Every structure is written in structure tokens, then in C-alpha cells.
């Protein structure tokens, strides 16, 4: 059962990254779109993500619940040392969620209020994935120092360091990339398609650059990322697969047809990155300064709880997955 629970944990993290990430990306794209195109972009985005966006964010809740039920020690350590970035993440989530809903459901579409909602939405779309990345980076990079004596070392430098920030930027770039690819399939005007493809390419380049930054930062902070990735078969294969799919993506993206394929490929690429990072560190989930760590295989709740949680997740997914699939299916663009 433990492995099933762990599988669900990784699956929900990945799905949150892919689906929620594309959502964040929608806001990021809006941020980097020239004023004259903003309105159109916004409309396309809204049509694309409106019906599914609540559901996309449920994966985060599932992740948190699995962590606190199944791995309570890990959860409480993260909550203690990463209190501040988690808090900022929460602020981002609040601002984004409410701004998105308010701008669509405000009965009077006044210029000033809409502007306010848009600004909130756009900036929080940037901040939220940034801090998601920072949190992930901090958990894995061994910068958390339980022995720290003062506030700054215990609660600030645990996450405010080159490596975590680079991971944050990388996350933002990936989200933008996912969203641009996703939205290519949501519009029919050739102009728009061209624009979004261009966006996707730019974000892709930015992501590769940020990925490079992550490696550089890992050297500066002695995280040793390259050693792990190249020292582990699964992650090496995953990295190679991601790189190949990148080449393939650039190759087929210019043709205006395979839009579903492009989406799958982008999703594949991002999942490979996650798998590569996850597998280098597995089963360690939080790593502390000095090398001690918390492991998914040992720091879990009692067997009874894990069993019940596993059953709960399996039963739950029997209800959720078909319904979710049908939701995505129903709101695929049916026009034409």
C-alpha cells in the first residue's frame, strides 16, 4: 500500500504541475503579452480554462492531504522551516483564485475594477509558481538547517538561496511554456496560432536558460544536482527523453496540424523533468543541511493509516477520474 500512496503522491504533484501549471501559465502569458493583444488572449484563455480550473487546483489539496495523513513528520517539518514561502504561496493562491472569479462574475464590468482584477491575476500568476518552485527546490537541495540558531538562518536562508530561486524561475518558465502550447489548440485563427507558437518557443528557450541557471546555482550552492542526475539511470533516461522530445517538439510545432500531439509532447517533456528530479532523490523527500533527510519509505504514518489512505485514494480515484475525464472531454472545443 505504501507504494500506492507514494504513487498517488507523485501523480498528484505531476498533475498539479501540468494542469495547474498551465493555468498559472495563462496568467504569465498575459503578463508578457502586448497591450493590444491582451484582451483577445484573455478571452481565449478564459474559454479554455474556465470550466476546468477549479478541478485543476484540487490536485494541490490532494497532495497536501496525502502528505499530512501519510507522512505527517515530513509535513510538519516542511511547514515549520518553509513557513514563509508556503505563506507567500498561499497569498498567491488566494489572490489568483479570487481575482479570476471576480473578474468573470462581477455583474458590472467596470474598467477600474476589471483592471484591478487583471493586475492581481497576472502578478499572482507569476508569484505562485515561483514559490512552488522555491519550495520544491528548498526541500530537495539540503538547505534546511534544523540546527540553525537564529531566525534568519532557520527560516529565511532555508529557502532564500540561489538554487531555490533558480528552481522557482525555471518553474515559472515551464508554466508559461505549458500554457502557450495548451492554448495553441484552443484557437482557430491562424494569426493567433502563430502568435502562441512563437510564445511557446520563447518560453521554451527561457526554460532551457533557466534550467541552465539551476545547474549553475546548484554548483554555487554545492547541491550537486548534475552528479545525481547523471549518476542515476532513471533520471538520465528521463533527461534524455525530455531533450529528445524537445527536439521533436521544435520540429513538428511549425506544422499547423498535430496540435493534440504537441500538447502531449509538452506534457511528456515536463513530466520527464519531474521524474528525473524525483527519482534522483527518491525516497528522500526533504533533505537537511549536513545530509540527513526524511524518507517516504521510513517517515510515514503507521501501516493502518497508510492502508486506509491507500484504499481511500483508490476508491476516490474511481469516482474522480472518469468524471474528470468526461469534464475535459465535454469542454474540448466542439465548434466546427
Partner 1 sequence: MDDFIAARSQMALSLGFHIIYSCIGMVMPVFMAISHYKWIKTKDPVYKNVTIAWSKGVAIFFATGAVSGTMLSFELGLLWPGFMKHAGPIFGMPFSLEGTAFFIEAIALGFFLYGWNKLNTWFHWVTGIVVGVSGIASGILVVAANSWMNSPSGFDYVNGKYLNIDPLKAMFNEAWFSEALHMTIAAFSATGFAVAGIHALMIYRKQNVAFHTKSFKIAIVFGAAAAILQPLSGDISAKGAAKRQPAKLAAMEAYFHTQEYAPLVIGGIPDTAAKKVNYGLEIPGLLSFLVHDDFKTVVNGLDKIPVKDQPPVAITHYAFQVMVGIGTLMMFIGILYFIALWKKKGWLNKPWFLKLFIIATPTGFIALEAGWTVTEVGRQPWIIQGVMRTSEAVTKMPGIQYTFYLFTFIYFTLSVFVIFLLKRQIEMVPKLYDK
What letters, b where the CB count within 10 A reaches 16 and e where it falls short, cover 17-50? bbbbbbbbbbbbbbbebeeeeeeebbebbeebbe
Site string for ligand HEM, 55-84 (x = CB under 6 A): ------x-----------------------
93 part of the interface to partner 1, by CB under 8 A: yes
Place of cell 541552465: 212
**Residue 130 binds which one of ligand HEM, partner 1, none, with CB within 5 to 8 A depending on kind?**
none
Q: How far is the CB of 37 from ligand HEM (least distance, A)?
A: 31
Residue with smaller CB distance to ligand HEM, 61 or 303:
61
157 part of the interface to partner 1, by CB under 8 A: no
Q: Cα–Cα distance between 138 and 218 in angstroms, integer?
A: 11
Q: How many CA atoms lie within 13 A of 140 on its CB side?
A: 26
Instruction: Report the site for partner 1 in 98-127 (rule: CB under 8 A).
Output: 98, 100-102, 104-108
CA dihedral (181, 186, 187, 190) positive or negative? positive
Q: Cα–Cα distance between 197 and 184 in angstroms, integer?
A: 7
Grid cell, residue 253, equals 510545432
Partners of 293 in the β-ladder:
287
Q: How far is the CB of 131 from partner 1 (least distance, A)?
A: 12
Q: How far is the CB of 293 from partner 1 (least distance, A)?
A: 17
Contact (Cβ atoms closer than 8 angstroms) between residue 191 and residue 43? no
Residue with smaller CB distance to ligand HEM, 54 or 73:
54
Note the residues at the interface with partner 1 (CB under 8 A). Answer: 50-52, 54-55, 57-58, 60-62, 64-66, 68-70, 72-73, 75-80, 83, 86-87, 90-91, 93-94, 97-98, 100-102, 104-108, 151, 154-155, 301-302, 304-305, 308-309, 312-313, 315-316, 319-320, 323-324, 327, 330-331
Amino acid at each position: 500500500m505504501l507504494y500506492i500512496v507514494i504513487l498517488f503522491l507523485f501523480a498528484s504533484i505531476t498533475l498539479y504541475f501540468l494542469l495547474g501549471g498551465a493555468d498559472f501559465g495563462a496568467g504569465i502569458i498575459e503578463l508578457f503579452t502586448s497591450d493590444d493583444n491582451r484582451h483577445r488572449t484573455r478571452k481565449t484563455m478564459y474559454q479554455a480554462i474556465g470550466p476546468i480550473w477549479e478541478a485543476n487546483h484540487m490536485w494541490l489539496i490532494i497532495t497536501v492531504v496525502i502528505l499530512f495523513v501519510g507522512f505527517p513528520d515530513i509535513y510538519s517539518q516542511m511547514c515549520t522551516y518553509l513557513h514563509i514561502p508556503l505563506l507567500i504561496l498561499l497569498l498567491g493562491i488566494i489572490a489568483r483564485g479570487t481575482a479570476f472569479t471576480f473578474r468573470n462574475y462581477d455583474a458590472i464590468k467596470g474598467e477600474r475594477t476589471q483592471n484591478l482584477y487583471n493586475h492581481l491575476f497576472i502578478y499572482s500568476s507569476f508569484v505562485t509558481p515561483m514559490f512552488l518552485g522555491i519550495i520544491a527546490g528548498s526541500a530537495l537541495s539540503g538547505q534546511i538547517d534544523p540546527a540553525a540558531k537564529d531566525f534568519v538562518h532557520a527560516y529565511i536562508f532555508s529557502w532564500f538561496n540561489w538554487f531555490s530561486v533558480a528552481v522557482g524561475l525555471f518553474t515559472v518558465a515551464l508554466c508559461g511554456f505549458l500554457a502557450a502550447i495548451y492554448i495553441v489548440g484552443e484557437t482557430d485563427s491562424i494569426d493567433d496560432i502563430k502568435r502562441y507558437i512563437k510564445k511557446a518557443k520563447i518560453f521554451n528557450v527561457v526554460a532551457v536558460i533557466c534550467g541552465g541557471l539551476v545547474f549553475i546555482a546548484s554548483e554555487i550552492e554545492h547541491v550537486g544536482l548534475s552528479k545525481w542526475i547523471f549518476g542515476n539511470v532513471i533520471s538520465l533516461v528521463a533527461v534524455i527523453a525530455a531533450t529528445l522530445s524537445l527536439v521533436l517538439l521544435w520540429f513538428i510545432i511549425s506544422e499547423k496540424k498535430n496540435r493534440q500531439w504537441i500538447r502531449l509532447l509538452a506534457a511528456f517533456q515536463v513530466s520527464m523533468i519531474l521524474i528525473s528530479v524525483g527519482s534522483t532523490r527518491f525516497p528522500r523527500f526533504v533533505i537537511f543541511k549536513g545530509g540527513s533527510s526524511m524518507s517516504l519509505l521510513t517517515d510515514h504514518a503507521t501501516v493502518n493509516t497508510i492502508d486506509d489512505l491507500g484504499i481511500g485514494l483508490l476508491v476516490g480515484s474511481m469516482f474522480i477520474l472518469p468524471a474528470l475525464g468526461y469534464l475535459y472531454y465535454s469542454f474540448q472545443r466542439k465548434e466546427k
